[in-house]
Amino acid sequence: MVTLCAFIVVVSTLEVLMLANAEGFRIWKMLNPEGTAAEYSAMLLVSYLVDILIPAGIAIYTYFSIARLGTPRTYRLVWGAIVFLATARKVLTMRTQSVFWYVSLLFWGILFLVVINIHRLEKNSSTERM
């Protein structure tokens, strides 16, 4: 799961790098004629932080707590809801011109499935070790 979260962070980074150029600013300026370069940069930064905050949080939380606490139902419910809402937010951005948007959605969908089914994955891996 930590690797999957790292992939989401990398894809989000590449997406922001793709948008942080003169052409992206020009298009944004057409949509927001009174906007400044500082506002465009702030919008990209906030979007990037929102995109990486959840995968980083879930990776760190899981890495440090899964050995001690396991994955109780509340873990799956809370993190599943957070990942689902993050995926919905990503869908609503509608950056359909970007291949990174599609790849990111794919990884978010996989992360959602892993989070809600992690208890089954733990059982399968523990029975395979025996």
Annotated domain spans of the chain? 2-129
pLDDT in tens, 81-90: 999 999 999 9
pLDDT in tens, 10-68: 999 999 998 888 888 898 899 889 988 899 999 999 999 999 999 999 999 888 888 78
Residue 69, pLDDT score: 77
What distance in Å separates the CA atoms of residue 116 and residue 130, rounded to the nearest whole number?
A: 24
Asked if residues 55 and 104 have their Cβ atoms less than 8 Å apart, the reply is no
Q: Find how far residue 83's CA is from the centre of its chain.
A: 8
- What φ, ψ does residue 95 adopt, rounded to 5°? -90, 60
What distance in Å separates the CA atoms of residue 72 and residue 95, rounded to the nearest whole number?
A: 35
What distance in Å separates the CA atoms of residue 71 and residue 127, rounded to the nearest whole number?
A: 17
What distance in Å separates the CA atoms of residue 108 and residue 7, rounded to the nearest whole number?
A: 10
Q: Is the pLDDT of residue 103 over 70?
A: yes
Which token pair is 13? 């980074």
Q: Is the pLDDT of residue 71 over 90?
A: no
Residue 127, pLDDT score: 53
- What φ, ψ does residue 97 adopt, rounded to 5°? -80, -15
Asked if residues 95 and 12 have their Cβ atoms less than 8 Å apart, the reply is no
Residue 49, pLDDT score: 93
